[in-house]
Amino acid sequence: MHGPGLGHFLLQAYHCFRGRFGRVRRSAKAFPFGLPSTRFGPKPINPLVVIFPDMTIRNDVVEAIGNTPLIKLKQASELTGCTILGKAEFMNPGQSVKDRAGKWMILEAEKRGELKPGGLVVEATAGNTGIGLAVVASARGYRTLIVIPETQSQEKKDFLKLCGAELIEVPALPYANPNNYQHVGRRLADELRKTEPNGVLFADQWNNLDNAKAHYESTGPEIWEQTGGKVDGFVCSVGSGGTLAGVSRYLKEKNKNIRIACADPHGAGMYEYFRTGDPKATPGGSITEGIGLNRATAIVETAKVDDAYLIPDTDAVSAIYELLQHEGLCLGGSTGINVVGAMRLAKQLGPGKTIVTVLCDSGSRYLSKLFNADFMRAKNLPVPEWLEKRSNIKPPFV
């Protein structure tokens, strides 16, 4: 089939696709369906554009951030009788949900005139926000300086350097200590403002409302659109709180009956905060990185949360290993907390509901910890047999 016949066939395929799968974004650029008459008949249609309408060209890596798919988590869905969907944030250019915060914090700072070409972005971060900032800063012509606790995974530190960030490693100290990495980062930014001619942005993800704005303007609307508005619950852990705050506000505005829950690891304070108003740390600790807040920040105070769940590492780690072994998803520890939290909300709401959570980042960031049998044993956490399996098949050398 060729010529007008192919064009007609593909046009019919498009209408069939739209009728079966719901609304498809209409755009003159994405859908050249005007079919103007030409000497050789109707204008040809690109079948890839018809079937995959979002296959558009991005001008740079910054525009590639967001619009991640929802992935059905089969085992979690089967165990609960609900549809549990994971927002695949590990598919962002910097491989985590924090790319969105990095994008919004820098672009909004540009609008306010805080950064000029060659300016400096400074942040105190456990890793992923720094990577998101470094990716965006590099694409926009800025330098990045990251203050990071020395306890964070080597993979994160190495990737930050690959993204062009300069790292300052400091001891992991409580927030109350004046030498906590967040306080060091703020003081460093203040000092550098005195000498940097093109501006210094201290991103300050915990208090910068542009962080939550990123999820109010992108993640939340994407979830609503991708589910066709048929979402009954959303579950997320708290690092800076931007994802939970932004998504919860957006979804509650669309439907006040959507249930929002926080999933919190042991040793953090958000479980108690959302239940009692006091961000008191729960007993124990967690190997998860990037989550586990112990104070109510300006961002956290804007979150619209109905429930909170306390998730032990044993459950979270088991969920991560199951996702890798049975569903091909290699994800980080915070995702385990999220998935277990989503299952708890699903069981609370009952069968037939749709629950969305966040697949925060790639497990490749934690090979030396989460997927290191010796490290996990030292933490008294379960180690699956397959993690240490070695092949006994001998290569057929000649």
Catalytic residues: 98
| Strand pairing report for 83-88 and 120-124 | unpaired
Distance CA 294, CA 268 (A): 5
Structure tokens, 284:
């124990």
Q: Enter the DSSP assignment of 125.
A: -
* Amino acid letter, residue 223: I
Please state, in angstroms and as integers, the Cα–Cα distance from residue 143 to each residue in 2, 23, 207, 208, 278, following that order: 52, 41, 22, 19, 38
Radius of gyration, alpha carbons of the chain: 23
- Each residue of 308-335: b (16+ CB within 10 Å) or e? bbbbebebbbbbbbbbbeebebbbbbbb
* Amino acid letter, residue 326: H
- Consecutive H or E run containing 292: none
Taking alpha carbons only, the member of 123, 69, 72, 77 closest to residue 98 is 123
Distance CA 153, CA 172 (A): 13
Distance CA 295, CA 183 (A): 15
Distance CA 214, CA 210 (A): 6
Distance CA 233, CA 76 (A): 14
Specify the 3-state DSSP secondary structure of 397.
Answer: coil
Q: Enter the DSSP assignment of 96.
A: B
| Strand pairing report for 166-170 and 259-265 | unpaired
